[in-house]
Chain A
Amino acid sequence: MPVTKGEYQVFRNACPRNCYDTCSMQTYVKDQRIQFVEGAPESSFTDGGLCVKGYSYVQQVYAKDRITHPLRQVPRGSGHWERISWDTALETIARKIREIEEKDGSLHGLCLATGSGNHGITNNSPDGMMSSLGYTTRTRGTPCWPAGIDAQAYDMGEMWCNDPEDLVKSRYIILWGVNPAWCSIHSMKFIYEARERGARIIVIDPLFTQTAAKADLYCQVKAGTDGILALGMARVIIEEGLTDPDFLSNHTLGYERFTAYLDQQICLAQVSEICGIPESEIRSMARDFASIKPATIWVGYGMQRHTNGGANVRAIDALGALTGNIGKPGGGVRYGHKTNRIFNYYAASMSPPQGAGPGKDRFINTNRLAQEILDAENPPIRMLWNTCRNPFSQDFNRPLLERAFKKLELVVCVEQFMTMTCEQADIVLPVTTLFEEDTLNVAYWHYWLALNEKAIAPVGECRSNTRIAMDLSEKMNQLFPGSCTFPTHLTSEEWISREFNDRVYEMFGITSWKDLKSGPVKAVIPREAWGDGRFATPSGKYEFYSKLAQSHGHKALPEVVPGRKPSAPFRILTPHSKFSIHSQFQNLDYMTAFNPEPCVRIHPKAAAQKGICDKDLVRVFNDQGQIVVRSRLTTTVPQDTLVLHEAWFKNKGYCVQNLVDDQSSDMGVFKTGSPGVAIHDQFADIEKISPAARRFPFNFWKTR
């Protein structure tokens, strides 16, 4: 039950977005309507505040253009929409599923495409729904961070990092390719506090980010050369005798081989040439990092979105090991963690119906959705169930995706807004926001656990993913008895309680999940990540030399791996904006008031060479596709780089994936099942649009 405060009922919520901060929230409800939201004061991470996105939630819930009832589009892509009932929608879907099974003798023709749209723990129900129908096709992997996860797994056995709140104990902080001032704003106070206690803040990034503007030192590294810079620093640390010999002899493997490699292959002058940072600066950073204790590195996700991304992260990890900073308070090489993924995932783990016979799911690489749909045969993918994902905005090689969707017989999209993916769907099912369902949330950065309570009744006819799965199961069994095992009548409380086990209770120091109704709780953290010096690698040590990596086709040592060859004059970077998480939030009117339109950021010198002025209409293009946008001249970007922030601007057709192909990164298969994507190894050219072309309306997303 909610707490009553004055005229409001106050509910507990948690932001389920794909974000470091995963804020614990409080929702103020009056007259069955959300009035405003706040950060939960109990969480020392969230500390009572949200972010620009979190504070826009009320508008998301009540937006006039929110989809609030099921829709059917005939034919697909025509824009001819009609309202249909849930019953009609579910029956159409159920009959299609049966048709596929009868035609193919299996359900491999049914494919679930999920993404990171909602990290609520019971929101794994679409996976469970598929399992409960039989053996289907699933997208496997993640576009976000797989290469870095594998890199840390080879080096240390697992991705694992200290509590971010312990950044305050650090005396030297390298924010390497990470921009918390935009992407983890609640971490910034710990970085500031560390500085007040005497720490130096260093930012290494190809872009002069907002975080760089707040640092003591900013080094503009050339994109994708982070690993080489780290190896240069490693060489200096060894050369000048600044290593931690105790840590190296007791807790590491392959140090001698690594030293020999650096000695033979790494020349500081060359490193400087390649990464764009003067030798003197590499030396002084290396010295400071090795001698000021404790020192820590926060490794961002951008640097591993390269064809040599995993190699970059392994080289940076090595700096933490050489200096013995790993396992120390205020130390470590921080990337993320999954130590709190110890729930039962009951909603995701259903058994197939009797009669499904022996079989197994078919897996496709989530990062190459378009190509995988085109390639899938025997049987082809006939039906796509898309939820928590917006492929037409976020998946790579957008032009190819348009071709791939033509091959599909039925596309079901579970959504809140008429996204570019919905525009390519046959049936759209309206889904609840976080305020209209019960679930639980944990983060991959901090260590808090929060309950998410249903604060209001679902808007219109919206249903949660879990409810949709229950309802589809009911419809399947009504039409075709025994065809689906997904539970049909569990209450929210039952769904939540089935996710808990003794390990969860122990980790979070609670005796019942209902304890969370009085506020979020933080995990009891016995020690720093790898604080006992025992690593989860085959040898139990930090492995500079990883036979496992070698057996997976990588270098055994963190070696220099050259990047992807440029195919056009400019590198294009498509990082996150502060106004959105992927394709969420930027479409809201509240956000548009602050950030009305997309742009391409270009250095004034590069713009001058192309005859481009500020706010000109320009065309950014490569072999795959093009984007037409306004230019913005800024010295925050390197001269050889164009920056286009990924986002979905309603009614603007802007989509950076026109230019980004699905080239795989080096690592990711080991821990996530598929390689990552070289999102930042992309190239394009730019030209001013001639005045004549301005008279015509632009179809932004069509290929040339």
Chain B
Amino acid sequence: MSRIQLGFHINAKKCIGCFTCAMACKNMYHQPVAVLWRKLYPLDESIYPFSHRGFYSLACNHCETPACQAACPVGAYTKRVRDGVVIHDQDKCIGCGNCIRSCPFGAPQYNPVLRKAEKCSLCWQRLDQGLKPACVLSCPVEALELKDFCKADLSSLLAFPPGFPVTSGINPSVRFTLPQSPCIVRQEMP
């Protein structure tokens, strides 16, 4: 069987910043209020010229060489061979926070109720049933897609677009398409 690495295509050209994906995650897992596995990041005006009109929807990037896994002292993180999903085992987690500090993307979050870390599971239980992840299923415009990074043609997509942390060695499984601006007709007033 050939190797599979699942990852997200964040199509900011299509994304309408509706927060549906982020809420679909809450709907599925009901994490404590402040724990957000997926977040919408509004792009700075230097990247997209209008504030809160361009977004990256980000969660765990299920990296090829996960920093969280390397930092975890108790082996709570595993990377599934079958599809490259990075899974956090909360039973093993001791809540030390090493993963939270080491992830360049802020994916692991601290659960103040359980006093442990947690993060996006890529809905692996759903994947195993042949279902789409909750966030991908919820997107009304297919701006969030799940791809097999080993097979898909990623050549036209960006690995490190402006506003996304540049990292080396860990190879996050996420690629981007940048937002575009329309032709704009507006009057400037004195």
Contact = CB atoms under 8 A, between A and B. Distances in A.
Nearest to A636: B50
Contacts of B20: 49-52, 55, 185
A636 B184 contact: no
Nearest to A606: B189
Contacts of A210: 16-18, 53
Nearest to A37: B27
A635 B51 contact: yes
Nearest to B19: A52
Interface string B1-33: 000000000000010111110111011101001
B23 A52 contact: yes
A56 B183 CA distance: 35
B140 A634 contact: no
A640 B189 contact: yes
Contact of A38 (B22, B34, B54, B137): B137
B118 to A, nearest CB: 15
A218 B184 contact: yes
B47 interface: no
B40 A594 contact: yes
B103 interface: no
Given A189-B140, A218-B185, A56 B26 contact: yes
A211 B20 CA distance: 16
Given A56-B23, A589-B33, A634 B52 contact: yes
Nearest to A191: B141
Contacts of B162: none
B46 interface: no
A219 B185 contact: yes
B182 interface: yes
A271 interface: no
Contacts of A59: 26, 30
Nearest to B185: A219
A463 interface: no
Contacts of A38: 137
B54 A593 contact: no
Contact of B187 (A51, A189, A276, A635): A276
Interface centre among B22, B40, B49, B185 (most CB of A within 10 A): B185
A188 interface: yes
A578 interface: yes
A401 interface: no
A317 to B, nearest CB: 23
B24 A55 contact: yes
Contacts of B50: 208, 213, 634-636
A189 B53 contact: no
Given A49-B139, A210-B16, A213-B54, A36 B27 contact: yes
Contact of B140 (A186, A635, A636, A639): A186
A219 B184 CA distance: 6
A578 B182 CA distance: 21
Contact of A635 (B23, B49, B139): B49
A578 B137 contact: no
Given A217-B183, A278-B185, A636-B53, 12 more contacts: A52-B20, A55-B138, A58-B27, A181-B17, A185-B18, A188-B16, A210-B17, A217-B185, A220-B186, A578-B19, A590-B33, A636-B52
26 contacts: A36-B27, A49-B24, A50-B24, A51-B18, A52-B22, A53-B23, A55-B27, A55-B138, A58-B30, A181-B17, A182-B16, A210-B53, A212-B53, A212-B182, A213-B53, A214-B14, A216-B182, A218-B182, A220-B185, A281-B185, A590-B23, A590-B33, A592-B33, A635-B50, A639-B189, A640-B189
Interface residues of B, number: 43
Contacts of B26: 55-56, 59, 590
Interface of B: 14, 16-20, 22-24, 26-28, 30, 33-34, 36, 40, 45, 48-54, 129, 134, 137-142, 179, 181-189
B140 A51 contact: yes
Interface string A21-57: 0000000000000001111000000011111110111
A230 to B, nearest CB: 16
Interface in A107-145: none
A36 B28 contact: yes
B178 to A, nearest CB: 13
Contacts of A632: 51
Report the 5 A-B pairs with minimum CB-CB distance, sorted nearest first.
A220-B186, A181-B16, A55-B23, A55-B27, A52-B19
B18 A52 contact: yes
A215 interface: yes
A593 B45 CA distance: 23
A298 to B, nearest CB: 16
B182 A220 contact: no
B140 to A, nearest CB: 4
B141 A192 contact: yes
Contact of A216 (B23, B33, B129, B183): B183
Contacts of B28: 36
A277 interface: yes
Interface in A217-257: 217-220
B27 A56 contact: yes
Interface in A56-79: 56-59
A570 interface: no
A161 B51 CA distance: 34
A593 B140 contact: no
A590 B36 CA distance: 10
Contacts of A218: 182-186
A211 B17 CA distance: 10
A203 interface: yes
Contacts of B23: 51-53, 55-56, 590, 594
A578 B134 CA distance: 20
A106 B123 CA distance: 61
B9 to A, nearest CB: 15
Contacts of A444: none
A579 interface: yes
Nearest to B136: A49
A213 B182 contact: yes
Contacts of B137: 38, 48-49
Contacts of A36: 27-28, 134
Nearest to A280: B185
A590 B23 CA distance: 8
B131 to A, nearest CB: 10
Nearest to A594: B19
B92 to A, nearest CB: 25
A276 B189 CA distance: 10
Interface string A564-582: 0000000000000011000
A181 B18 CA distance: 7
Nearest to B13: A214
Interface centre among A210, A211, A578, A589 (most CB of B within 10 A): A210
A52 B27 CA distance: 10
A188 B141 contact: yes
A36 B123 CA distance: 14
Contacts of A217: 182-183, 185
Contacts of A208: 50, 53, 184, 186
A640 B186 CA distance: 13
A557 B189 CA distance: 33
A533 to B, nearest CB: 35
Contacts of B181: 213
Contact of A213 (B142, B179, B187): B179
Given A48-B137, A189-B140, A189-B142, A214 B40 contact: no
Nearest to A579: B19
Nearest to B29: A36
B51 A634 contact: yes
A49 B133 CA distance: 12
A182 B18 contact: yes
Interface centre among B49, B54, B184 (most CB of A within 10 A): B184
A192 B142 CA distance: 10
Contacts of A47: 140
